[in-house]
Copies of this chain bind each other. A is one copy, B any other.
Amino acid sequence: MKQHGVALRPHLKSAKSDQVARLATAGHNGGVTVSTLAEAEYFLRHGFDDIIYAVCMAPGKLPDADALISAGADLKLLVDSVEAASAIGSYEGADTFRVLIEVDSGDARTGVLPGSPELLEIAKILHESPGSELLGVLTHGGHSYVASNIPEIQKVAQQEREAVVTAAQKLRDAGLPCPMVSAGSTPTAVHGESFEGITEMRPGVYVFFDLDQLSRQVCTREELALSVLGTVISHNRHAGQIVTDTGALALSKDISANANWPQAGYGEVCDVLTLEQIDNLYVASVSQEHGVIPVSDPDIYEQLPIGSKVRILPNHACITAAAYTHYEVVEGNQVVDRWERVNGW
């Protein structure tokens, strides 16, 4: 991002950890992104005050947001509707809410289209209401997560940039302020070719990467930083499989990498130290506390006896990590630290 002259505002929904946040913001301006108000409260408490809550604001959450701002957060909210903008603008709290408008750049999840009349309607409400200040526009090119290769990601990055820059221009043409033009996803931050007109990018999963990102050419295998430690608990030779204690809760039921890599299953089974995949093994099915790994070569039963350890590379680091209260930080074969997480809402 520095090379492109764009601020980095990491999305901390992936790691939810103040230690990771410190690494991710080192050398940058300290701005961060969150997906829940619980994260906002946690990161404020750990010294991060420049925060975008990048999920459309529900009016019922305004008292909690107001309390965070009163406690010192420069918390920026997001809206994509006249209703939410009006509720924020007319809210009688202790603080003025600083608000961004979400633009749909092709992901078709939330956000207004950059050419829609709602964009200016919402902007005017936010600019003119006593309770709110218009900060600009924000988009998330989330459809980069279904791109399969670099050219497809570059196309999404272009759509993302064009949509949010177009929306910013519409605001400025109408005489409205637009200091912030926020975009980003990990794939588009990594592979975007132009960031012209964008003021900041908000990648998230890049702090760990995962099989899904690897399958879409966003990272290298050596960059995968998060794995789940499992123990072999059964050799079911009559069914041709070993079974580990890493099931649906330990790995999550996210199988996003399978769109490109059907053999990713619920995760690749790797050597604990080298993190190299063992004989193409993967977790083919999960129940709550069981992970089933098909075995074709009977030597595997000798190589991985009952009680031995494996490391599983998950599909989607953000979703898998959410089952854990903390990270065990590993260097070589040593656990060197323990980093906490904030979970829940």
Contact = CB atoms under 8 A, between A and B. Distances in A.
Given A36-B289, A254-B253, A236 B307 contact: no
Given A83-B306, A231-B60, A236 B109 contact: yes
A305 B60 CA distance: 12
A108 B290 contact: no
Contacts of A254: 248, 253
Given A109-B243, A306-B83, A325-B344, A318 B288 contact: yes
A111 interface: yes
Interface in A39-81: 55-61, 80-81
Contact of A248 (B60, B236, B305, B319): B319
B55 A235 contact: no
Nearest to A82: B306
A142 interface: yes
Given A35-B288, A306-B84, A319-B249, A236 B108 contact: yes
Given A253-B254, A288-B35, A323-B322, A58 B232 contact: yes
A210 B84 CA distance: 33
Interface in A205-248: 231-236, 238-239, 243, 245, 248
Contact of A58 (B104, B233, B290, B323): B233
A11 to B, nearest CB: 10
Interface string A88-116: 00000000000000001000111101001
Contacts of A9: none
A104 to B, nearest CB: 7
Interface in A306-337: 306-307, 318-319, 322-325
A232 B307 CA distance: 47
Given A319-B248, A325-B344, A344-B325, A236 B288 contact: no
A252 interface: yes
B319 A110 contact: no
Main secondary structure of the interface of A (DSSP, over half): loop
A87 interface: yes
A287 interface: yes
A292 interface: yes
Nearest to A236: B110
Given A55-B289, A109-B236, 20 more contacts: A13-B289, A35-B289, A57-B233, A58-B306, A60-B307, A61-B231, A80-B234, A84-B306, A87-B307, A104-B239, A108-B239, A109-B287, A109-B292, A110-B234, A113-B238, A116-B238, A248-B319, A253-B253, A323-B323, A325-B343
Interface of A: 13, 35-36, 55-61, 80-81, 83-84, 87, 104, 108-111, 113, 116, 142, 231-236, 238-239, 243, 245, 248-250, 252-255, 287-290, 292, 305-307, 318-319, 322-325, 343-345
6 contacts: A83-B306, A108-B236, A108-B239, A109-B239, A288-B318, A323-B343
